[in-house]
Each structure stands twice: as C-alpha cells, then as structure tokens.
Amino acid sequence: MSTPDTSTPDTGPTDPTKEDRGPFAWFQALGRNGKRAFIGAFGGYGLDAYDFQVLPLSLVAITAYFGLTTGEAGLLTTVTLVVSALGGAIAGILADRIGRVRTLVITVITYAVFTVLCGFATSYEMLLVFRALQGLGFGGEWAAGAILVAEYCKPRYRGRTVAFIQSSWAVGWGLSVVVYTAVFSFLPPDLAWRVLFWTGAIPAVLVFYVRRNVKDAPRAERALATDPPRGRIRDVFRGELGRTTLFAALLATGVQGGYYTLAGWVPTFLKTERGLSVVGTGGYLALLISGAFAGYLTGGYLTDRLGRKRTFTLFAVLSALLIVLFTNIPAGANGLILLITFPLGFTTSAIFSGFGSYLAELYPTELRGTGQGFTYNFGRGVGAFFPALVGFLAGSMGVGGAMIFGAVGYGIAVLALLGLPETKGVELR
C-alpha cells in the first residue's frame, strides 16, 4: 500500500480566495484538465444512463412482441446488471493497469455498440445476449469516470463534484424519456422499441471528445509510471482493506438492489397497474427524473457537510419509506402517486451522490480502480436479482406488491454502514 500523498492536489487555481467564491467554486478548483475530465465523465455517465433506460421504457412493447412472461421480462434487466458487475470489475482493474481515460473510451464504445445491436434482435435469446454484452460497458463506465474526476478534486469539494457526475444519470434518463415519448407516439410499438435501441449510437460521438481532450490526473499517471501495475482483486481483500471491501460491497448491494427495483419496474407499474398511457407515464417519469436530478445535486453537498455515512443513512431510510408508500396507494388515487413521485426520485438518487467520492477515499491510488470497480459492481451484480425477484413474484403479488422488496435493499445498506469508516475531508492516498 502506498503512503499518503502529501503533494499539492491535482487541481487548478492556487489562490484560495478564488476557490471559495460562488456556488461553483468546486468546478473552478478542478483546473483546466480537471474540467475536461469532468465533461468527459459527465457525458459518459449520462449517455450510459440513456442506453440503460431504453430497455425499461420499451419493456411493455418487447414483452408483447416476443410473448414474454413477467419473469422473462425481468431477466432482461437482471442479466444486464449481472454482466455489468463483471464489466465494472474488469474496468476497475483496467483503470489501474492502463489508465482511467483509456478505460473510459473502451467502456463507452462497448455499451453504445451493443445497445444498437439490441435493436436488431430477432429473438428473445438474441436480445438477452446483446443486452448482457451491453452490460460490460454499462458497468465499466462509472468505475473509470468517477475515479478520473475524484483524483482531480480537492477534498473539501470532492463530494459535490463527483455528485454532479452522478447527476448526469438523471440527464441521460430524462433524454431517454423524451425520445421514448416521441418515438412511441409516432411509430407502432413493434418498430418503436427497435428505433429506441438504435438511438443508443449517440454515445459514440463522445469518444472523439475524450480521446482528444481528456487525460489522467498527475497522481494516477505517476502511479502508473512508477509502480508496477496492481489491479488484482485479491489485493483489495488483504489486511485492513479486506473489511472495508466486504462492507462497501454490502452497502453497494443494498442501495442498488433498491434502486434497480424502481428503475426496472416503475414504467411497467404505471402502465399495467395504474392504467397510464405513454404520455401519462412520461409525465410521471418526468417528475421522478426531476426529483432524481435535484437529489443527486443536494446529496453531493450534504456528503461534504454532514459526512458520507450520515447522508447514506438519511436517504436509505427515506427511500425505504417512500417505496412502501408509492406501491401501496389505493387504486384510483393516481394523484397521490403524483405527489410522492418527486420525493421518491429525490431520495433514491441522492443516496448515490456519495458513492463516487466515498469509494475513492477508501482505497489508495494504485488500487482505487480495482477497489471501487469491484465493490460498486459486486453490489450491482447481486442487487440485479431484485428486479428478477419482482418479475417472478409479480404474477402472485402484482408488480406493486413485489416492488416492496426494494425497501429491503435500503435496510441492508444501513446495516453495512456500521462496518465502514467516515472519510469526509480526507486526502486521497
């Protein structure tokens, strides 16, 4: 394990009075190269969200087209997330071996190509395979992008800066809903779901920007040049890091199990159990996404003020309570669901704001990609079974009744925090 890095942080302006002015001081503190890294990671994660969300939005049409059961439909989301766990772990290792930027490029190309291929699927089995391979890039992008930006941040701004990267998920999600509403309003469902997947080629444009303008932080470049590449999973289980890795993986499992239950089944829940049209569903999702965007940003500031662990606990408890309320409102009371939709999106997204900074702070530079990639994506892989469980139980409990298992995930997250340290304000090692 390396010793703490006591050199000047890899950021820009040296005049502290400039850094402390205004609500966007965190962005100014990144410096020129840090800002470019921020733009690349923001775009990568936002388009990652876009390519993921086209499946939940198309799920009703795909289910009808291939004649799927709810269990088979849920498996499409689950296989994406399970394979994305592998992709994230691999990307974390690559980030420590070949650099953050090169890994970012590889992951963006991967998820864009296989999202497009999903639109050409002629059978359920083919779609399942393409969606699984899309997961390799989907899981890897966050691991590379979050670390890339975290290493440019000053400690006092790290929580909110990486949270802004997380907020791009809501931007990509929102864009997917806009495109979905337009495509499904003008094309028959049998063609519309294919067109929606074909629009997944958009992220490929980002690759040109990243290759030309983005570079790794000096800290990461030094580690790559002077230390033999580590990037081995077993290293994050050695010594004191073993306990950290165990509980961080459990935290990620709980949070993502709860979140992907919502992301995978809310559109279907609104259509099948609440009887909403395409436009009506889009309206509810717009509120959910608006809440998510506000939650990402607010959660980032709170992680820097309250600390990482307090913020995780606060939003885990609130998310669990709101899932229970959202899925148990009586039939015919869609107005009440509308009132809960914004805060539900807010809390279930705000809890993610601290992940990028928190996991980066738990590991030294030479193992940061491996540790962050493994823990976050282990949680994604195990949490992926929550949507499948909802799908298989929906036949007997209804989609809304089965979605209650999302609240269980947030309970697991709260328990995991008991075994983790607080890292607010620490310098990266």
The DSSP secondary-structure symbol of 153 reads: S
Pull the structure tokens for residue 40: 């690349």
Question: Rounded to whole angstroms, how far apart are CA atoms 252 and 264?
Answer: 17
Q: pLDDT band for position 1 (50/70/90)?
A: very low
Question: Rounded to whole angstroms, how far apart are CA atoms 403 and 302?
Answer: 28
Question: Rounded to whole angstroms, how far apart are CA atoms 77 and 75?
Answer: 5
Query: Model pTM greater than 0.75?
Result: no
Q: pLDDT band for position 417 (50/70/90)?
A: very high
Higher pLDDT, 335 or 356: 356
pLDDT of residue 15: 45
Average pLDDT over residues 304-308: 88
87-96, 147-156, 285-294, 391-400: which has the minimum mean pLDDT?
Answer: 391-400
What average pLDDT is seen over the chain? 81
pLDDT of residue 123: 94
Looking up tokens 């799927």 gives 68
Higher pLDDT, 373 or 411: 411
Higher pLDDT, 118 or 100: 118
pLDDT of residue 198: 94
- % of residues, the chain, pLDDT over 70: 84
Question: Rounded to whole angstroms, how far apart are CA atoms 23 and 253?
Answer: 33
At what angle are helices 365-383 and 218-226 packed, to 10 degrees?
Answer: 100
pLDDT of residue 270: 67
User: Which positions ≥6 away from 296 have C-beta within 8 Å?
Assistant: 163, 164, 166, 167, 169, 170, 349, 350, 352, 353
User: Which positions ≥6 away from 30 have C-beta within 8 Å?
Assistant: 11, 12, 37, 38, 149, 152, 153, 161
How do the domains of the chain map onto residue ranges?
26-419
Q: pLDDT band for position 141 (50/70/90)?
A: confident
| pLDDT, tens digit (0-9, with 9 covering 90-100), for 52-62 | 888 888 888 99
pLDDT of residue 310: 93
The CATH architecture that domain 26-419 belongs to is: Up-down Bundle (1.20)
With 0-12 / 13-18 / 19 or more C-beta atoms within 10 angstroms meaning exposed / middle / buried, residue 20 is exposed
Question: Rounded to whole angstroms, how far apart are CA atoms 210 and 230?
Answer: 25
pLDDT of residue 345: 85
Q: Is the pLDDT of residue 17 over 60?
A: no
Q: pLDDT band for position 231 (50/70/90)?
A: low
pLDDT of residue 86: 85
Q: pLDDT band for position 282 (50/70/90)?
A: low
Query: How many residues are there in the chain?
Result: 429
142 contacts 46 by C-beta, under 8 angstroms: no
pLDDT of residue 280: 54
Q: pLDDT band for position 2 (50/70/90)?
A: very low
- % of residues, the chain, pLDDT over 90: 18
